């Protein structure tokens, strides 16, 4: 009899929890945040690997970018946040308003080609700058230190990895690969998993010089500041699309997903969708 009562109470408790979860889900007003990882449309940059890119102003590439914008529009973001420093937000929005009135031609950057274009399509009055800078990553200095400390295995691994990544980027830059297909790769699990290279870089140095750990600490700190900047623009019920270099996606996704205040959305659900 006691066992039966215990089972009944347990079932009632599970049912109560399920109903409560259902109520929380339907009433959840936490901001939903989607991070679109991307390569830099203008090429170059200051990343561990700086991929080459095609001319994104050609008619074919412009059609492909429009296709990407149409897919992202299905997220119905209420705000769009970009890899722009807050100090430059006013100037960027001046250019955006000029684009809205037809006096600005979009430049070759993902911030304008996707960010401005999508914001205009959705009728947004402004765009948000959420980047943070704390000094560039001294890759050259890390390799020099690795040679001094005799960490030849680590340096060999990093050089081989950089060669592999450069080769892969060249393949992704082929004319047969569309912008959407490249972005599918940039947001794939393989690219997310490649973030472990920063933990390899963190090991460069010795007891007297922890430059690797210090540089990677700056990288984690930069992304934590970016996350904080995103949190400062978030309001209940928001749907925020964050467009950032794909190297940032692992940490930004982690911070958003681990936080109590936000819901993480996956851009692959949109990019994989039918036309």
**70-85 average pLDDT score:** 98
Res. 127: pLDDT tops 80? yes
**250-275 average pLDDT score:** 93
Res. 89: pLDDT tops 90? yes
Judged by average pLDDT, the poorest of 15-29, 47-61, 77-91 is 15-29
Q: Could you read off the pLDDT of 210-221 as tens digits, one per residue?
A: 999 999 999 999
Is the separation of the CB atoms in 133 and 222 below 8 Å? yes
pLDDT at 52: 63
**5-14 average pLDDT score:** 45
Q: Could you read off the pLDDT of 221-252 as tens digits, one per residue?
A: 999 999 999 999 999 999 999 999 999 999 99
Pick the more confident residue, 18 or 139: 139
Q: Could you read off the pLDDT of 154-210 as tens digits, one per residue?
A: 999 999 999 998 898 888 989 899 999 999 999 999 999 999 999 999 999 999 999
Cβ-proximal residues to 242 (8 Å cutoff; 6+ apart), any chain: 33, 34, 35, 36, 81, 82, 130, 230, 252
For helices 249-258 and 211-233, angle between their N-to-C axes, nearest 10 degrees = 60
**CA dist list (Å): 9 to 6, 17, 23:** 5, 12, 21
Q: Is 238 helix (H, G, I), strand (E, B) or coil?
A: coil
Res. 21: pLDDT tops 70? no
Tokens 């920063």 belong to residue:
198
**27-31 average pLDDT score:** 93
């Amino acid at each position: 009899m006691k066992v039966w009562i215990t089972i009944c109470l347990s079932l009632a408790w599970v049912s109560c929890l399920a109903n409560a979860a259902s109520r929380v889900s339907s009433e959840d007003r936490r901001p939903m945040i989607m991070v679109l990882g991307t390569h830099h449309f203008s090429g170059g940059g200051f990343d561990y690997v700086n991929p080459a890119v095609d001319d994104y102003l050609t008619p074919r590439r412009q059609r492909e970018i429009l296709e990407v914008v149409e897919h992202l529009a299905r997220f119905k973001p209420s705000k769009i946040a970009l890899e722009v420093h807050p100090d430059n937000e006013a100037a960027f929005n001046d250019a955006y308003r000029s684009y809205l009135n037809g006096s600005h031609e979009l430049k070759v950057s993902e911030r304008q080609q996707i960010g401005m274009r999508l914001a205009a399509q959705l009728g947004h009055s402004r765009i948000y700058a959420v980047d943070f800078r704390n000094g560039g990553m001294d890759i050259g200095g890390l390799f020099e230190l690795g040679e001094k400390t005799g960490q030849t295995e680590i340096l060999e691994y990093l050089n081989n990895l950089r060669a592999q990544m450069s080769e892969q980027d060249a393949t992704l830059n082929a004319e047969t690969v569309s912008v959407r297909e490249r972005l599918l790769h940039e947001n794939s699990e393989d690219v997310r998993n490649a973030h472990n290279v920063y933990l390899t870089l963190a090991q460069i140095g010795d007891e007297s010089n922890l430059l690797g750990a210090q540089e990677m600490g700056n990288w984690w700190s930069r992304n934590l500041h970016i996350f904080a900047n995103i949190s400062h623009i978030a309001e209940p019920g928001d749907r925020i699309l964050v467009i950032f270099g794909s190297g940032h996606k692992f940490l930004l996704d982690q911070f958003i997903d681990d936080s109590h205040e936000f819901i993480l959305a996956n851009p692959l659900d949109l990019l994989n969708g039918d036309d």
